[in-house]
Each structure stands twice: as C-alpha cells, then as structure tokens.
Amino acid sequence: MYGIQGHFASDLYRHPQLEADIGAVRDIYTDRAVSVREYGPIDDVDVDLQINIGFLDEEVANAWKVVRTEPIILRLRFSLSQYLDGPEPTVEVFQPSSKDGFGLGVQLKKILCSFVSAQWRHLSNELIRAQQKKRHSWFKAGGTIKKFRAGLSIFSPVPKSPCVPLIQGPVVKGPPRPPELRVTRLISRSSPCSMKGPKGELFTYTPNAQSVLVPGARPAVQISTKQLIELFFSSQALIHCKSVPTLEYGFLVQIMKYSEQRIPTLNEYCVVCDEQHVFQNGSMLKPAVCTRELCVFSFYTLGVMSGAVEEVATGAEVVDLLVAMCRAALESARKSIIFDPYPSVVDPTDPKSLAFNPKKRSYERLQRALDSVMSIREMTQTVVSLQGSYLEIKRQMDKIDPLAHPLLQWIISSNRSHIVKLPPSRQLKFMHTPHQFLLLSSPPAKEARFRAARKLYGSTFAFHGSHIENWHSILRNGLVNASYTKLQLHGAAYGKGIYLSPISSISFGYSGMGKGQHHMPSKEELVQRYNRMNTMAQARAVQSRFLQSRNLNCIALCEVITSKDLQKHGNIWVCPVSDHVCTRFFFVYEDGQVGDANINTQDTHVQREIMSVIGMQPSSPHSDGL
C-alpha cells in the first residue's frame, strides 16, 4: 500500500464532514484509495489520495518520466477539527519511487493548488452537507436516480480499461457487472447515437447492432463497443478536462476527479500559466512551456538546469542529435521559414529581458552562441573525469559565450518528442547505421485516435524522407502536411498530404534534398553510394556513439493507417490525414552514407523484424495490436 496508514487520536476531534468525505472516496474507489495521518497534539491531518495512472500508454509514461504501475499521490493537509471551514490545505504531489525530480508532479501541483484556491473561496462544511442531502434525496422512489444516472453516464469513466482516461463523474459501487453491460448502458439509447470520428467521419451506433456507418459508398464496418468508446473519448471527452466535477460526493472525490481529468491532457497546457497551447498542428507528446514571455521567465524556476544534467548524463546521443538538427536549420538558406520555433532565452546578465527573442530575431548572434556550445563528446568526458560535475560544463561554456549554455538548455527543454537511442539489440539491422532512435511525437489523444483507427482499418510501415534541416521544427511541431504551404520544398505532384514510401531508395532521395540541393539521386546512384560508403564504414576500427560529421542524412520509419484515405501512386504514398501517420523510428547517416536502397517495408521479413523490435503483432482491421 502506498501512503501512510491512517490512525486515529482519541483525544482530538475529527470533523464529521471529513469522515464522510473519506468514506465517499472508499465507497466510490477502494479502501486503498485514501489513507490518513493525524499529528497527535496538533490540529493537522494529512489525507493521501491515490490517483491511478494505469490508463497511460507505456511509451507516454516513459516520455513523461512517470511509473504507470504506481499511483500518483495527492497529499492534502487540512485542519482536523475544522476541515473545510479551516485554513486552505497545502498540496503535495509525488510518486512513491520518484519523489525527487518528479517534473510532472510540479505541473500537476501547480494546477491543483490553483484549483483548491478557487474552490476554497466558497467551500464550507455546510455547503457539502447541503449538496449531499440533495443527492440522497434523489435515491427516493419515483425514478429520479435513473434520470440522474442517465445524465451522468455520458461522462462516467469506463473501469478497467487502460486505454481510456478517467474523465469525470462518480461511479456508484454495486454488484460487479460485466464491462460490456456497463458500456452498453453508457451509450444505449432508444434512438441511434452518432458521433464524429478522428477524420470527421460520421459514425452511427444503433441499440440493436454494433455497427459504424461510414458515409458514401463505404460499407458498414463492425466494431466492438470498446472501440466505439475509445473513439468517443479520444475525440470528444478531452474538451471537458477543466470542467469542475460535482461536490455531491464531497471535496476529496471532487479533487480526485479533477486530477483524473487533467492528467491525460497535461501536454496540451503550458506548464507555467496552464493555458492551452496554440500550435499550428495541435499538441505534442511532452509537456512544455508556452511562448508567452512571462512564462519563459518563470520556466527557469522549474528545474530546467536539473533536466539538462539528466539529459547529458543519460541521453547524450539524443542531445548530440538535437544540437545537430538545430545547427542544420540555423545554417539553412530557408532558416526564416523552417527555424521554428525560434528560441526564447532569458539573458543571464539581465533576468528581466530576453537575450533571444522570437520578436527580435538575430540569426547571427544565435549562430555564435551555437558555435560556442561544447560538443557532447567533450561534455560527457568532462562529466566522467570530474565525477558528474555538470557545473564545470556550464562554467567552461560561460567563459566562451554566456549565451551558449542557456541556448543548450532551450534546445533540450523545447524538444516535445520522445527520443531514445536504441541499443544494438533493438536496432533494425537492415538499416545499416549505428545511429538509430525510437521517435514518438504523438500526444495521448492523437495516439488514442490512431489506435482506434488502426483497429478499424489496420496499419503498415513506410519511410518518410526529409532533410535534417527540417527536423528541428518537426520535433517541436510534429510531422505536418506541408503541401501548398511555405514549408513545402518539393512538388506535390500527387496532391496534398504527408508523402511516404515503402521503398527506402525513394525516401533516401528526399532526405538528401535540402540546402539548395534539388536533385534526387536515382536508385542506381544510391546503390553505388551505399556499396562504397558501407565498405568504408567496415574499415573503421570503432564506430563512435556520437555524430562525427555535419554532413547528415536522415529518414523516419512511420506507421500509417491503411484506410481508403491513403492514396497509393505506385511506390509513392500520400496520406492527407495527419492523424493517420505516427513516427516510430529515426535513422541518421553521416558523410553522404545511405542505407540499403532495396528495402521494401511490405516484404514479410522486413515487417517481421520491425514487429520484433517494437514488440507488437501484425496489425490488420479489427485486431488489437499494441
């Protein structure tokens, strides 16, 4: 059991409303969901509430640096005898195994402190008693409770489903029912129920048959009620994350429900001001600070320094890649378009002003600071030789350029994708490069929509080639449909959408086009280059863990939904629905080297190796692949 076992002091008065609210948590959740600690002679009590985060995807949990098998603990300190009539409670947020450096807890604590302060202005024990009396009156004969449940059910969480976040609304305990019966009750109506899917399609559910009707000539597609619920929650319910839950079950249940609403959408809100991000292409995977100047100033009080230490210590290869991408974008002739976002960096000599300001761009000064950033190889050698003294790295950079280290901090903290260097045992051998990364950028809501669509239509893998100068923006804004926009570098001969190919040679060609180079090499040229460069690579005694060159090519391996929206023009595929493309792997090649130009992701042996590396089963319509 997490938290501290409750014990009761016989000589202190515990307010009855506190007792009632604790009982409500145990009734609606479990006995283990709340624990209490009293402090003997002083009139304080700690109430620990356990928030289950098992609904988070494992990769999302890894990106957010939380342990999804442990609850998040909300510790509230009240007056034991006065409860809601006493002083405003303090709030702590932590996980048992990660009390220190729990970045997500910092953001959630700030959110919950604001929520508690706003509610405390009108809260009182008498108000809660009145709310609860009103609720109990609904349980009288006459059918009122049935109307209440019917109105509430549309927001009720679906229990025991790891894919669906707990959105809001209490679940009254009772005899255990099969999940399908509860789900049926949630959406059953006397008339058909319709909703929009992730692409804007109109899905229709009838009480007598579990079917989805797609407009046009498409036939009805049979799906399970679980899939329908996933579609609903991923596209509709998240808009309610800031709504205030009912007080009819007490203040403790209210704050637990509010936490359950907010946790799945933390990446969609600024970690400082808690206002929704306004990105061109929607939210990204990792929580981040918005571009408002006040938030940028405040962000430097939230532990950016410790985050940089951790990244250099445990993810040096990733930092190396992020710096290389930033340099490529900054040196591009198209930097005014593709170097987005531009850094917001506080001036270390004047904390009230920005040294790098998106409103007053200076690419020349930015280039000087970037050139002064110590190489990651030197950083790791310094950390090892000085037994982990990151401050020494900062001191050395500050001597060269006082803006070099703040810029490095920004490069690390502004990355909103989850990137992990793959160990040799998990690398795709047919890609022939030691620089292989897991790359995930989809936020939980988009990933949920993607998985729901995958169950309907199935998915496959395809390459996406783009010059390295573009990836600084992609990691922070997502893989976007650039057709007919200022971001478009190549033509859009096959229409508007994200361009992909199952054939490696085509994507390798696109990855080399940039910085004024518009000639796409033929497959024969790529094969010759691969043979020549691969021979040279074998002659090297040791492959460095870090990038040795500034001449870099890169391609991504993406998972794409195989719906009718995916347009296939031979080996060039166009996906007009950005929600139907998710990055999975990223490969980097140095000094003009390329991988095998003959790879076809549709070959059985290639698919088998991809599946074995990511640990998922082949995905076909209606399958439950991971």
pLDDT in tens, 218-250: 444 455 554 544 444 444 444 478 899 999 999
Question: How does residue 49 score in pLDDT terms, banded at 50, 70 and 90?
Answer: very high
What letters, b where the CB count within 10 A reaches 16 and e where it falls short, cover 163-186?
bbbbbbbbbeeeeeeeeeebbeeb
The residue among 487 and 405 whose pLDDT is bigger is 405
Answer yes or no: is pLDDT of 217 > 50.
no
Q: pLDDT tens across 507-523, in order?
A: 888 887 434 443 445 55
Predicted local distance difference test score (pLDDT) of residue 370: 93
Q: Is residue 104 helix, strand or coil?
A: helix
Answer yes or no: is pLDDT of 19 > 60.
yes
Are 254 and 212 within 8 A, CB to CB?
no
Answer yes or no: is pLDDT of 141 > 50.
no
Measured distance CA(572)–CA(465) in Å, rounded: 12
Predicted local distance difference test score (pLDDT) of residue 443: 79
Q: Residue 86: exposed, middle, or buried by beta-carbon count in 10 A (0-12, 13-18, 19+)?
A: middle
The tokens describing 283, both together, are 């939210």
Cite the beta strand spans of 535-600 per DSSP E. Answer: 552-561, 567-569, 572-575, 581-590
Predicted local distance difference test score (pLDDT) of residue 503: 94
Question: How does residue 15 score in pLDDT terms, banded at 50, 70 and 90?
Answer: very high
Measured distance CA(105)–CA(98) in Å, rounded: 10
Predicted local distance difference test score (pLDDT) of residue 103: 78
Predicted local distance difference test score (pLDDT) of residue 266: 87
Question: How does residue 539 score in pLDDT terms, banded at 50, 70 and 90?
Answer: very low
Q: At CB < 8 A and 24+ separation, what contacts does 484-491 make?
A: 486/337, 487/337, 487/338, 489/334, 489/513, 489/514, 490/518
φ, ψ of residue 56 in degrees (nearest 5): -70, 140
pLDDT (average), residues 354-368? 93
Q: Is 474 left (phi over 0), alpha (psi -120 to 50) or beta?
A: alpha
Measured distance CA(2)–CA(263) in Å, rounded: 19
The residue among 99 and 173 whose pLDDT is bigger is 99
The residue among 462 and 41 whose pLDDT is bigger is 462
Question: How does residue 319 score in pLDDT terms, banded at 50, 70 and 90?
Answer: confident
CA dihedral 78, 80, 85, 91 (to 10 degrees): 0
Predicted local distance difference test score (pLDDT) of residue 282: 56
Answer yes or no: is pLDDT of 48 > 80.
yes
Predicted local distance difference test score (pLDDT) of residue 300: 57
- When mean pLDDT is compared across 58-67, 212-221, 574-583, the lowest value belongs to 212-221
The residue among 328 and 168 whose pLDDT is bigger is 328
Predicted local distance difference test score (pLDDT) of residue 545: 64
The residue among 25 and 237 whose pLDDT is bigger is 25
pLDDT (average), residues 578-602? 86
What's the chain's average pLDDT?
74
Residue of 602, 426, 415, 575 whose CA lies nearest to 502: 602
The residue among 366 and 214 whose pLDDT is bigger is 366
Answer yes or no: is pLDDT of 160 > 50.
no
Question: How does residue 99 score in pLDDT terms, banded at 50, 70 and 90?
Answer: low
Predicted local distance difference test score (pLDDT) of residue 523: 52
Specify the DSSP element, H or E, that contains 575. Answer: strand 572-575
Predicted local distance difference test score (pLDDT) of residue 318: 86
Answer yes or no: is pLDDT of 541 > 70.
no
pLDDT (average), residues 460-465? 95
Answer yes or no: is pLDDT of 356 > 90.
yes
Answer yes or no: is pLDDT of 207 > 80.
no
Predicted local distance difference test score (pLDDT) of residue 413: 82
Predicted local distance difference test score (pLDDT) of residue 535: 47
The residue among 235 and 414 whose pLDDT is bigger is 414
Answer yes or no: is pLDDT of 430 > 80.
yes
- The single-letter code of the amino acid at 158 is V
**Residue 206 carries which DSSP code?**
B
Predicted local distance difference test score (pLDDT) of residue 393: 75
Answer yes or no: is pLDDT of 484 > 70.
no
pLDDT (average), residues 550-554? 84
pLDDT (average), residues 85-102? 86
pTM: 0.63
- The single-letter code of the amino acid at 274 is D
pLDDT (average), residues 255-279? 85
Predicted local distance difference test score (pLDDT) of residue 390: 63
Whether the bond between 159 and the residue before it is cis, its omega within 30 degrees of 0, is no
Predicted local distance difference test score (pLDDT) of residue 234: 45
Answer yes or no: is pLDDT of 158 > 80.
no
Predicted local distance difference test score (pLDDT) of residue 485: 47
**Percentage of the chain surpassing pLDDT 90?**
33
Predicted local distance difference test score (pLDDT) of residue 625: 40
Question: How does residue 591 score in pLDDT terms, banded at 50, 70 and 90?
Answer: confident
**Residue 496 carries which DSSP code?**
S
Question: How does residue 592 score in pLDDT terms, banded at 50, 70 and 90?
Answer: low
Highest-confidence range of 145-159, 219-233, 535-549, by mean pLDDT?
A: 535-549
The residue among 30 and 2 whose pLDDT is bigger is 30
Highest-confidence range of 156-165, 361-370, 466-475, by mean pLDDT?
A: 361-370
Answer yes or no: is pLDDT of 113 > 50.
yes
